[in-house]
Amino acid sequence: MPTQILNNFLLQKGIDKDLQIVLSAIARAGKYVCHAIETGDLGLAGTSNLFGEDQLALDVLADKIFTEHLKATDLVNKIASEEKQQAETFSEKNKFCIAFDPLDGSSLVDTNLAIGAIFAIWEGNDFIGKKGKDMKAACYLVFGPRTTLTIATKQKVWEFALNQLGEFSLQRDDIYVIEKTKTFSPGNLRAIKEREDYKNLVNAWQNQQLTLRYSGGMVPDIHSILAKGNGIFSYPSFSKYPYGKLRLLFECAPFAFIMEKAGGLAKDEQGNNILDLEIKEIHQRTTIFIGSKEEVNRCEKYLKR
């Protein structure tokens, strides 16, 4: 099969022209971020984000790079970045609202493990009141030994890899996650000390002799599920994070959209579909159980919230 380059591929698939431009801008910006990760200064930027977490210079840089590339499309109405407290309006007349986490898992930068960036794309002029299921598209970049870009539209999920010519070429067509899982990625195991229900769930996974796959970065952990076609990733609440740690807008909603398009499912610990949760504030957090459908539904039976 001849190599399929991102732009040609999106054109062939009949993806909305404006969406094509936005996705290409994300891909282009991703190359600069990849270069910054490979060659940049890993020192602290000397600033904290609004949650008091240290920002690495790379967080700041990645945020700036994605923001500038999205602004240059002249198609973006508002952006919201995990690194900033408020959404920023570019132009009220423009078509898209785009939320992104420019460098998820930045605490892993010094360990040289894979990290990533996540994007959620809506039409309209605000994030508030929207639901994940209203999304036009979602995508994420993995910065690992290879840089990959996975895109989900209303149609399907596709993965592209950055090749030696500096182009994103199609690597996986029509990604699909099966109902049963062979692996588990249990986030926030600290919660086990306080939560018998989560302890029982993790014990059940161990008793099933599932294989552990957990890196500490949501992007590579969920990418592993999509790449292997099965898996379960969890991040429940506990006293430190009563609503969970991960953000609905920047992390959970886009991954839930991608997972459902691939045949999987994402729910919170009350059993609500993540795609049905309304965005009430930019930095809203949620718990998440995401991956193979049967396993996500089984979690609900264990969890008592």
Residue-wise over 8-39: b if at least 16 C-beta within 10 A, else e?
A: ebbeeeebbebbbbbbbbbbebbbbbbebbee
User: Do 108 and 42 contact (CB within 8 A), yes or no?
Assistant: no
48 versus 211: smaller Cβ distance to ligand FBP: 48
In whole angstroms, the minimum distance from the beta carbon of 217 to ligand FBP comes to: 5
2 versus 52: smaller Cβ distance to ligand FBP: 52
In whole angstroms, the minimum distance from the beta carbon of 179 to ligand FBP comes to: 23
149 versus 246: smaller Cβ distance to ligand FBP: 246
In whole angstroms, the minimum distance from the beta carbon of 65 to ligand FBP comes to: 17
The residues of the shown chain that bind ligand FBP, judged by CB under 6 A, are 53, 104-106, 187-188, 216-218, 245
In whole angstroms, the minimum distance from the beta carbon of 185 to ligand FBP comes to: 9
User: Do 278 and 210 contact (CB within 8 A), yes or no?
Assistant: no
176 versus 241: smaller Cβ distance to ligand FBP: 241
In whole angstroms, the minimum distance from the beta carbon of 249 to ligand FBP comes to: 12
User: Do 234 and 288 contact (CB within 8 A), yes or no?
Assistant: yes
User: What residue number has its CB nearest to ligand FBP?
Assistant: 218
Q: Judging by beta carbons within 10 Å of its beta carbon (0-12, 13-18, 19+), is residue 84 exposed, middle or buried?
A: middle
In whole angstroms, the minimum distance from the beta carbon of 159 to ligand FBP comes to: 19
Phi, psi of 53 (to 5 degrees): -85, 140
187 versus 254: smaller Cβ distance to ligand FBP: 187
In whole angstroms, the minimum distance from the beta carbon of 224 to ligand FBP comes to: 12
30 versus 220: smaller Cβ distance to ligand FBP: 220
240 versus 280: smaller Cβ distance to ligand FBP: 240
Distance between CA 25 and CA 88 in Å, rounded? 18
Q: Which residues contact 45 (CB under 8 A, 6 or more apart)?
A: 55, 56, 57, 59, 60
